Amino acid sequence: VAKATGLPEDLYHDLVAKAEQAIKTSLRQRPVNVKDAVVKERNFKKLRQRSVEVSEFSYRPVACEHD
């Protein structure tokens, strides 16, 4: 964690997930989101992840010869 927090901000970028292959079928009906209703009913705060930031750096475990 100390290495990650010490990195410059310009090394970070948004993680973009790509589909492995094109979808050949039609879209299905989306089911009702029961979880949101239960969270609202019980007066909990709904938490949502806004984004994921990633960065790369070399790492070498103590017993290894290569990064």
Amino acid 64: pLDDT: 86
Of 37 and 4, the one with more pLDDT: 37
| Residues forming beta bridges with residue 13, ordered by sequence position | 54
Q: In sequence order, what DSSP letters do the residues of 3-42 get, joined into one string? A: HHHTS-GGG-EE-----SS---SPPPPPPP-HHHHHHHHT
User: What residues contact residue 60 under an 8 Å CB cut-off, 6+ apart?
Assistant: 66, 67
Average pLDDT over residues 27-37: 87
- pTM of the complete model: 0.33
- For residue 9, the model assigns a pLDDT of 82
Q: Span 39-59, mean pLDDT? A: 88
